[in-house]
Amino acid sequence: MSAFAPKQILCAVDLGPSSRLVAGWARLFAEAFHARVELLHADWFEPPRYFTPAQIQALTEEAAQRKAKLVEELGRVGAEVFGPRAEFAASVIEGHPIPVLRDYLESRKPGLVVLGSHGRSGVARLMLGSVAENVVRESGCPALVARGAETAPLSIGRILCPVTLTESGRRCLETSTALAAAFGARLDVLHAAEHPDAHPEEIHQQLCQWVPREARQACQITEIVRRGNAAEQIILHAREHAVDLIVLSAERKPLLEITTLGTTTERVVRHSPCSVLVLPLA
């Protein structure tokens, strides 16, 4: 089975309305795997270049006061979500969120990073550049993009694991099986038949044979084959069957000076109706 068992979880929050939801997802994983959580908020302060030294000094003093308030607010979020007796750390670091998170991940190497998604719509949703997407692209550890109703109780009752019948697909299945066993969840193993000449019945038989016996012993598994574009079929299945978590393997590809994800992964992360856990390929 997969070695996925994070003992240190980084939970990055912007202290906006969805922060308690994001922290709640971190709590779910922390309780399941007995992990320690660090809440992190990046406070970006950059005075205008035309400000005088006196003005910059005044703004710097205001920034220090703001940081103290942010530390207090972050601790309050942690206490509300994890409980007053729970063990967690809360840090406010000055800087833009993307480099702050990148440096933290490189130095601390947590077993899981949990981030929020603002759920943008329309043209804005199609644009790259959000903190979550940048971290998912660059992180060397599993990254959970949290979504859900902020007032609903959090639970994981159904997990969707889209796979190709490859070694990377098997690693994704192993992690998904470990998660389903930890949360007592059902596991849907889905393969999208994109080729027009594909025979879903034959592929379904291959998929059933491909899933190992130990996975079936760990949790309740349903094998599914859907015809069509992979990203579309993953999202449709998640909507139609009230999936709580999608687990994907991410193939990262260098493009000039940036890193990109595969098209399917990017589309699912952007448009999924539920939380998505992205696993880096070894």
Query: Mean pLDDT, to the nearest integer, of 133-156?
Result: 82
**DSSP string of 60-121?**
HHHHHHHHHHHHHHHHHHHHHHH-TT--EEEEEEES-HHHHHHHHHHHH--SEEEEE-----
> What pLDDT score does 62 carry?
74
Q: Coil, helix or strand for 160?
A: strand
Are 267 and 231 in contact by the 8 Å Cβ rule? The answer is: yes
Q: How many CB atoms lie within 10 A of CB 42?
A: 21
- Mean pLDDT for the stretch of residues 174-189: 96
Torsion of the alpha carbons at 107, 109, 112 and 113, rounded to the nearest 10: 10
- Same fold across 1-151 and 155-282: yes
Q: For the chain, give the number of residues.
A: 282
Give Cβ neighbours of residue 276 (< 8 Å, ≥ 6 apart). 144, 145, 147, 245, 246, 247, 248, 268, 269
Backbone angles phi, psi at 13, to 5 degrees: -130, 150
The overall average pLDDT reported for the chain is 85
Q: Which residue has the higher pLDDT, 117 or 72?
A: 72
Whether residue 73 is predicted with pLDDT greater than 80 in this model: the reply is: yes
- Rounded to whole angstroms, the Cα distance separating 118 from 22 reads 11
Contact 34, 92 (CB under 8 A): no
Output the pLDDT for position 50: 63
Q: Per mean pLDDT, which of 139-143, 195-199, 203-207 is the most reliable?
A: 203-207
List, in order, residues 6 or more apart from 185 with CB less than 8 Å away.
Answer: 156, 157, 158, 159, 179, 219, 244, 245
Give me the mean pLDDT over the 214-239 stretch: 96
Say how many C-beta atoms besides its own lie within 10 A of residue 171's C-beta: 17
pLDDT at 119 over 70: no
Q: Which CATH superfamily is domain 1-151 in?
A: HUPs (3.40.50.620)
Task: Give me Rg for the CA atoms of the chain.
Answer: 20
**Range 150-155 average pLDDT:** 74
**Span 147-171, mean pLDDT?**
87
In CATH terms, the fold of domain 155-282 is Rossmann fold (3.40.50)
Q: How far apart are CA 254 and CA 244, in angstroms?
A: 31
Alpha helices, DSSP H only, in the chain?
Answer: 19-33, 53-82, 97-108, 122-126, 131-138, 167-183, 200-210, 213-218, 230-240, 263-271
Of 20, 23, 35, 239, the residue nearest 141 (C-alpha): 35
Domain segments of the chain: what residues?
1-151, 155-282
- Residues 34-61, mean pLDDT to the nearest whole number: 76
Each residue of 223-256: b (16+ CB within 10 Å) or e?
A: bbbbeeebbbbbbebbeeeebbbbbbbbebeeee
pLDDT of residue 126: 34
Range in 11-25, 71-85, 206-220 the model is least confident about: 71-85
